[in-house]
Amino acid sequence: MKHQTINESIQVEVGEDFSEIRESIRAICAKFPGQYWRDLEEREAYPTEFVKTLTESGYLGALIPEEYGGSGMPLRAGAVILEEIHASGCNAGACHAQMYIMGTLLRHGSKQQKSQYLPHIASGALRLQAFGVTEPTTGTDTTKLKTRAIRSGEYYIINGQKVWTSRALHSDLMLLLARTTPLDEVKKKSEGLSVFLIDIRECLGKGLEIKPIKAMVNHNATEVFFSDVKIPASCLIGEEGKGFKYILDGMNAERILVSAEAIGDARWFTNKSVEYANQRTVFDRSIGKNQGIAFPIARAYAETQAADLVLRRAAALFAANLPCGDDANIGKLLASEASWKAAEACLQTHGGFGFAREYDVERKWRETRLFQIAPISTNLVLSYIAEHILELPRSY
């Protein structure tokens, strides 16, 4: 059996804490208080000013190598940036994808593609925020996706539909996963899928249609329809048919970064809970004196610390180019559950006031619930642990 105790596993440093980055992010976020996010939600609007400020301060290009105009920082620095944004009460969902989508271009794009796009992504002139994988009829069963890209001379013609494509209306570029060889013509179902970097601006109105989805959280999610969309063959990233592998390659980074947001949320909830539990007096004493209030907060805190450690190790393994899938998945599971427990404790601690919009607790509570569904749902992470770590039979 592959599973290990901590002592038997690879020893890695858990990494820097990047306290200067944390401080600087906190200063930026202080300019975007709860009122800013509440107002956006009411208008279902995109946090343009927030994303602009982060871009101009260089934080969205943190992971892009210096030769392409970024800061060339390790994944852990990206995780710290996202964690601190969420711990400050803000939400990085409007722009986080750039950090992990960019990795696919960086690892598998041609020299020409990288120099054409990365410097402009780093400067903020080009927004790479949309990632089209999920489809309405196939869901988590990604290899069965139905969007087709068919080569025709120097072009590909795309037909199909994506759903839940976040930020597509606020992005210039989209990374798209589509099938280039029909499922019944490939040996393995993971073959025959390809990744394309599409210029949304060029395709809109020429077969590409994007419709917003009204959702529980203001994530700027959309449905994307492709009807004979013609794109240059040069949009293909890497080799045709190898796209699923490229997407999988990026998933550990995605899990680590998104989990850092869950850790940040957990810290925000815990701080809020402690503050309110100390200050709110009922029956002539602070409610925090009741163990029924204090213990759920303490438990969520302990679980957050555990998740954080696993994720720090995952990021360190990633940086050392060592396999990090086990820790990235376990960290994702623990972080999404810790943030939910912290959210539940916070809502309960606030009593009726937890439902009042101005406290931001209910907004963050809705937002943090997403981590158990997207970018990967808890059951699928448990399936990974069962199958790939514990060597139990594959369940699907």
Ligand X SMILES: Cc1cc2nc3c(=O)[nH]c(=O)nc-3n(C[C@H](O)[C@H](O)[C@H](O)COP(=O)(O)OP(=O)(O)OC[C@H]3O[C@@H](n4cnc5c(N)ncnc54)[C@H](O)[C@@H]3O)c2cc1C
Interface residue list for ligand X (CB under 6 A): 131-134, 139-140, 164-166, 215, 217, 219, 221, 370, 373-377, 379-380, 383, 395-396
The nearer residue to ligand X, 129 or 349, going by C-beta atoms, is: 129
The nearer residue to ligand X, 133 or 266, going by C-beta atoms, is: 133
Question: Residue 234 Cβ, how far from ligand X at the closest point, in Å?
Answer: 23
Separation CA 46–CA 97 (nearest Å): 14
Question: Residue 372 Cβ, how far from ligand X at the closest point, in Å?
Answer: 8
Question: Residue 129 Cβ, how far from ligand X at the closest point, in Å?
Answer: 9
Residue nearest ligand X (C-beta atom): 139
CA 237, 243, 246, 251: dihedral to nearest 10 degrees?
A: 120
CA angle centred on 258, ends 20 and 2, rounded to 5°: 110
Task: Name the helix (H) or strand (E) containing 285.
Answer: strand 285-286
The nearer residue to ligand X, 283 or 396, going by C-beta atoms, is: 396
Question: Residue 352 Cβ, how far from ligand X at the closest point, in Å?
Answer: 28
Question: Residue 279 Cβ, how far from ligand X at the closest point, in Å?
Answer: 33
Question: Residue 194 Cβ, how far from ligand X at the closest point, in Å?
Answer: 15
CB distance 130 to 208 below 8 Å: no
155 torsion bin: left (phi>0), alpha (psi -120 to 50), beta (else): beta
The nearer residue to ligand X, 55 or 134, going by C-beta atoms, is: 134
The nearer residue to ligand X, 276 or 371, going by C-beta atoms, is: 371
The nearer residue to ligand X, 215 or 309, going by C-beta atoms, is: 215
| SS3 of residue 343 by DSSP | helix
Q: Of 163, 143, 153, give the one whose Cα is nearest residue 226.
A: 163
The nearer residue to ligand X, 135 or 326, going by C-beta atoms, is: 135
Q: Residue 395 to residues 176, 248, 387: CA-CA distances in angstroms?
A: 28, 19, 8
Q: Prior bond to 33 cis, omega within 30? A: no
Separation CA 147–CA 159 (nearest Å): 6
Token pair 């599409």 is found at 198
Which sign, positive or negative, has the C-alpha torsion 201, 230, 162, 107? negative
Separation CA 192–CA 174 (nearest Å): 20
Question: Residue 256 Cβ, how far from ligand X at the closest point, in Å?
Answer: 16
Question: Residue 138 Cβ, how far from ligand X at the closest point, in Å?
Answer: 7
The nearer residue to ligand X, 215 or 233, going by C-beta atoms, is: 215
Strands 128-132 and 173-179: parallel
CA angle centred on 193, ends 107 and 229, rounded to 5°: 100
